[in-house]
A and B are shown apart, each in its own frame.
Chain A
Amino acid sequence: MSSPLKVALIGNPNTGKTSIFNALTGLRQKVGNYPGITVEKKTGACSFGPDLNATIYDLPGTYSLNTTSLDESVAVEILLNRRDPDFPDVVVVIAEVENLKRNLLLFTQIKDLGLRTILVINMSDRMKRLGIEIDVPSLESSLDTRIALLSSRNDTGIEDLKAILSDYKSISDQPSLDITDIDKAYFENLKTTFPKIDGYKLWLAITQDVNFMPIEKKVIPDRSAFSTKSKAELQKMQHRETVLRYKYINNALKEGYQKDLSKADGIQGVLDRIFTHKIFGYLIFFVILFTMFQAIFDFSSYPMDAIDHFFASASEWIKATLPSGVLTDLLAEGIVAGIGGVVIFIPQIAFLFLFISILEESGYMSRVVFLMDRIMKPFGLSGKSVVPLMSGMACAIPAVMATRTIENWKERLITIMVVPFTTCSARLPVYLIIIALVIPEGRFLGLGYQALVLTGLYLLGFLAAVVAAAILNRGLNIERRSFFMIEMPTFKPPQFRNVAITVFEKTKSFVLEAGKIILALSVVIWFLGSNGYSDSFKNAEAEVIQQIQQQGLNLSDDELSQKLSSYKLEHSYIGVLGKIIEPVVKPLGYDWKIGIAVITSFAAREVFVGTLATIYSVGEESESTIVGRMALETDELGKPIFNLASGVSILLFYAFAMQCMSTIAVVRKETNSWKWPMIQLGYMTLLAYLSALIAYQTLI
């Protein structure tokens, strides 16, 4: 069998390109990253007949080959470089009926690259309502291509597209425009300098201002040889090119495309006036947000509890079934617990992406961006930062992933850097237990102190994010290349298949990518917690029994094993580590036990509670008992360890500290460098430490 045909799908955003990709490939998709950058690379397999297989490349959505964002430049890079392994045999440009004219701009550019180009006109189901008539044969001849009229919503036309693709050799690869029309003298000059390279490719290489990947390096050796025109002159030439392209398009559409202007889609205007209204717009937005968090917190707590129980009992089962030994412990307490720590996030992530993809598919998300942009701008954020910041209240991991829609790198980076300040659900167990310990139950103006403190902590997280953003905005010296522009797509009911595939793919990508790192670190923490080099660790059992006998205690088996695990933990590597860092955490009001909990909770914040439970030998009992035991804990002078000062200090520490290795992993992945997660870890830890220090020292 010959190697598969390479088909690239390209098109403007909101043309339903992904729907067509999904229709062609179903779940036979692979989502990865382009090497070196974090732009999603989606490929899928498709066959058109017994002996014609194809690999479909879903290139990032772009309005033109004149790129302004990372996503867009990927498309140009692949299409310009014949030696690229992903260089397509045939390109399918996806357009849609309503904005056909604008979509064709990209089509003419692709054709000018000398590639075999097919045109798909999607959303044909809307033609009647919009009063649009299309004469396919006439357009095929005026645009010099083959056209498939398609509706991904009704699943029609896909077979036509496949038929055209299987006959791909007959498709024209002639350019639409003569690019030298922009400036004859200029292109003449280029031709004499570089006779072997195509004029339009040179032109693209010269005018692309791609910050991230200098594509011209691959195409032409030295860019300076062409810089005979100033930047402003080049920009003017690009303007002229655009005018020429639209002239060509208007001409080509004259015969084959008719639009009855009286049939404007009135409902869209009404919806827009409601959703972007100065008062109702915000009201609707907050109702949607509220529903979303309700779902994420409440609904996902059931599957999360089930997952938690499942892994706990799996761990128990392994310990009970397999012969006891280091390998069994590693499996039960390291690996199974580690996998559990990954899987437990799945419900929240799936719910979050379910909502986000419905809001995006329907076209509503652009309205939120529109409403919020001006409010976010002074902080160096954009309207597009709102979704990640809100998502951060569930979990920073999907929130960091959601920043991909921000095309301005500086705004995206700032958003990533401040997102972990928003109060994620993992902080909640820590907050709840400390608040229960140190905040009295009284009421102020009818509101409980405890509830007020909790609300205050949520506000504090959001405030910290915004202030940090403002500071980073001044401090980061990154050129802002793109400007804010967002298309407001028409409102459409979301397509179930697209939503389902998005949820599936995003969740899978989290489990596989971040999961690897969480699992590895869990194993490390397990190892450090269950091994030690001191004699006390090795002879733990004997020493504990001796202690108990000395104190004359009569303990049940359960209590004895809890006592033993607590003693072992104290003398394990992690226990030793806790003792070593005690001088560092002492000024914050923590003893070595809290120190250990701070270290172990680096795996995930909620581990703090579990670790304290282990250390205080409380084990599997209810949390109120943990609280009870913690309240009794005293220092050498007999004063309680958990008092108002140390409690507030812990709350502030957890409010600000990065304290989550999964977030570090995902930031590493999204920024593609260790630099940003390390800076983030550094400044957040510093802020956490200082504020905890100040709080403790003033309150004590």
Chain B
Amino acid sequence: MTNLLELKIGQKAIIADSIDERLPVKLMELGCLPGNEVQLLQIAPLNDPLYYLVAGNRISIRREIASLISLDL
């Protein structure tokens, strides 16, 4: 299954219905919900962390957390 790590800069996708139960609730509260659009805005040097625009929110998270969010491409 694809996840947030596979997006290229500028690419958009929709968050899939299945939510990993380890996903911190806080990320859902910040818009990482099934059906919401997510776009990768920037990757930090050394490839971590990653900067996303998700449901209008601009957030930056580390790769380990990003890998928990799966996508419908």
Contacts and interface: CB of A to CB of B under 8 A. Distances in A.
Contact of A101 (B41, B44, B55, B60): B55
Max count, chain A CB within 10 A of own CB: residue among B27, B29, B33, B64: B29
Contact of A242 (B25, B41, B47, B58): B25
Nearest to A281: B45
A373 interface: yes
A105 B51 contact: no
Contacts of A272: 41-42, 51
B7 interface: no
A683 interface: no
Contacts of B47: 374
Given A235-B25, A246-B33, A374-B47, A273 B42 contact: yes
A370 B46 contact: no
B7 to A, nearest CB: 16
Given A276-B42, A488-B51, A102 B57 contact: yes
A169 interface: no
Q: What interface size band does chain B fall in?
A: 20 to 34
B26 A373 contact: no
Given A371-B45, A374-B49, A366 B29 contact: no
Interface in A221-266: 232, 235-236, 238-239, 242-243, 246
Given A64-B29, A239-B25, A488 B59 contact: yes
A502 interface: no
B6 interface: no
Nearest to B19: A239
Interface string A484-500: 11111110000000000
A102 B42 contact: no
A123 to B, nearest CB: 14
B58 A66 contact: no
A273 B33 CA distance: 26
Interface string B27-70: 11111011000000110111111010001111111101100000
Nearest to A383: B49
Contacts of B42: 272-273, 276, 370
B56 A486 contact: no
Contacts of B73: none
Contacts of B34: 243
A105 B22 CA distance: 21
A217 B16 CA distance: 38
Contacts of A373: 44, 48-49, 60, 62
B57 A487 contact: yes
Chain B interface mostly helix, strand, loop or mixed?
mixed
Contacts, number: 108
Contacts of B46: 374-375
Contacts of B64: 483
Contacts of A485: 24, 26-27, 30, 59-61, 65
A672 to B, nearest CB: 25
A384 B61 CA distance: 13
A68 interface: yes
Nearest to A100: B56
A483 B64 CA distance: 10
A490 B29 contact: no
Contacts of A83: none
Interface string A362-388: 000010011101110100000100000
B51 to A, nearest CB: 6
A235 B19 CA distance: 11
A484 B59 contact: no
A278 B45 CA distance: 6
A556 B16 CA distance: 89
Contacts of B44: 276, 370-371, 373-374
Given A239-B28, A276-B42, A276-B51, A99 B33 contact: no
Contacts of B48: 373-374, 377
B45 A242 contact: no
Contacts of B21: 232, 235-236, 239
A269 interface: yes
A63 B59 CA distance: 13
A98 interface: yes
Nearest to B22: A235
B11 to A, nearest CB: 14
Interface in A63-93: 63-64, 66, 68
B67 to A, nearest CB: 12
Contacts of A488: 51, 58-60
Given A483-B62, A485-B60, A487-B30, 19 more contacts: A63-B30, A102-B30, A102-B56, A235-B21, A236-B21, A238-B25, A239-B25, A242-B25, A242-B28, A273-B42, A282-B45, A370-B44, A374-B44, A377-B62, A383-B49, A485-B26, A488-B51, A488-B59, A489-B58
Interface of A: 63-64, 66, 68, 98-99, 101-102, 105, 232, 235-236, 238-239, 242-243, 246, 269, 272-273, 276, 278, 281-282, 366, 369-371, 373-375, 377, 383, 483-490
Interface of B: 19, 21-31, 33-34, 41-42, 44-49, 51, 55-62, 64-65
29 contacts: A63-B30, A66-B25, A66-B29, A102-B31, A102-B57, A105-B29, A232-B21, A242-B28, A243-B34, A276-B44, A282-B45, A370-B42, A370-B60, A371-B44, A373-B44, A373-B62, A374-B46, A374-B47, A377-B48, A483-B24, A484-B49, A484-B62, A484-B65, A485-B59, A485-B65, A486-B59, A487-B30, A488-B58, A490-B58
The 7 closest A-B pairs by CB, nearest first: A488-B58, A374-B46, A242-B28, A374-B48, A238-B25, A64-B29, A278-B45
